[in-house]
Amino acid sequence: MNTIEKLKILSEDSRYDMACACGSGNDDRRKRGLDGKWLYPVTLPNGGYSILLKTLLSNSCLNDCKYCPIRSDADIQRCTLKPEETADLFMAYVKKKMAFGLFLSSGIINNPDYTMSRINAVSRLLRYKHRYKGYIHLKIIPGASDAAIEDSISLASAVSLNIETPGKERFDLLSDKKNYIKDIIRPIKLISRLTSKGNRFSGVKSTTQFIVGASNETDSEIIKYMLGLYKKLNFQRVYFSAYQKGLGHYSIPGEQKTDSTPEQIFMREHRLYQVDYLIRKYRFSGDDIVLNESGNLDLDKDPKETWAGCHPEFYPVRINKADEESLLRVPGIGPVTADIIIKMRRHGKIKHLEDLGIKGKRLDNLRKYAVIE
């Protein structure tokens, strides 16, 4: 195969990893380019978006992750890009202004450090041979050595390593070859130390991803680990990828016990993203997230509305007097609208909810929880 043919296969296989870009708006969804490759928008540290070329270096893999479509015994077409052709290909896209950043991951070739050496070689070629100063997101391979991880961080704008599951017990259902503490938690803690505020690589963004529903975990377990990643390890983003039965070509222990439909599986992923936003953007704490008796979120209701339903004493919120934190507890009001309200109040009282620019169902919902006094 030539380079473009390999790229089409490897770019397609990379789409299951969401740890670089995922969102609900038209501007932050991935798009397929004319040549079949996937292009991903990513939020830059200084604001705004850039378009990433996202690909695997290789879809050959020694690992046995039971949810993964490229696991070692999967019957797929295998191929590998060389570091030199990957760097040259990416720079060709940059020069044509078809991509402005790179997300590079790989299946495991030979061993984790050998794979990391090839991933880092691509970044080193871009940084030093091609003098590329733009956005590079590198995937940290589970089980990589401290030296390989530090080398990767020194070359990247962002790095990620998928935590996959909340805890060792859940993780052991998915792989017989990987060790949760040694291959996942150890490098995640190292990434945290190297990229935390005040350290040499504090400008490098760190992200991770959960595979939702692959190991019969509860939302409570995921949220607990998510809070730890944010509060204790200072990761910038946590992503969620719904496990789709059959993609890994393997029956995961216990998965036959669930009768969730595809719609419910993806709604669960969506609810977890909403919780993530409540914690990062709306100042909710872990205790504010309402779960059912099974430790899961309500699939039929937004978690913010669920909180509102459990706290009727908090409402109605007075638009002209409430502080920002109280405004953010109102279903229908997000950080942007809260900021608009505060700015409008500096010039006088707000007289009508319609003055906030909210319309339709969102306005109808807002009337249940807020008043113009």
Q: Is 247 found in the same domain as 263?
A: no
Prior bond of 112 cis (ω within 30°): no
Residues 233 and 294 in one domain: no
Residues 228 and 364 in one domain: no
- Could you read off the pLDDT tens digit of each residue along the chain, which spans 373 residues? 788 888 888 877 776 665 554 444 444 445 555 455 445 555 444 445 557 788 899 999 998 888 888 888 888 889 999 999 999 999 998 998 888 899 999 999 999 999 999 999 999 999 999 999 999 999 999 999 999 999 999 999 999 999 999 999 999 999 999 999 999 999 999 999 999 988 899 999 999 999 999 899 999 999 999 999 999 999 999 999 888 765 554 455 554 445 677 788 889 999 999 999 999 999 999 999 999 999 999 999 999 999 999 999 999 999 999 999 999 999 999 999 999 999 999 999 999 999 998 889 899 989 999 999 8
Nearest to 188 by CA among 141, 147, 156: 141
221 and 278 co-located in one domain = no
Same-domain pairing of 154 and 299:
no
Question: What's the structural domain count of the chain?
Answer: 3
Task: Confirm if 216 and 258 have CB atoms less than 8 A apart.
Answer: yes
Same-domain status, 292 and 358: no
Note whether 271 and 320 are same-domain residues: no
Same domain, 240 and 222: yes
**CATH code where residue 209 lies:** 3.20.20.70
Same domain, 147 and 249: yes
In this structure, the number of other CB atoms found within 10 A of the CB of residue 223 comes to: 22
Type of residue numbered 278: L
- What single DSSP character describes residue 289? S
* Burial (Cβ within 10 Å: 0-12, 13-18, ≥19) of residue 266: middle
Q: Are 279 and 226 in contact (CB under 8 A)?
A: yes
Pairing of strands 49-56, 317-318: unpaired
Within this chain, do residues 217 and 317 fall inside the same structural domain, yes or no?
no
- The answer to whether residues 205 and 267 belong to one domain is no
Among 219, 237, 258, which residue terminates a domain? 258
Note whether 318 and 293 are same-domain residues. no
Q: Where are the alpha helices (DSSP H) in the chain?
A: 3-13, 83-95, 112-124, 146-155, 168-171, 186-195, 219-231, 262-281, 303-310, 324-327, 335-345, 360-369
| Residue that finishes a domain, picked among 258, 290, 322 | 258
Q: Print the domain residue range for 120.
A: 3-258
Cα separations in angstroms, 16 against 218, 269, 329: 21, 14, 33
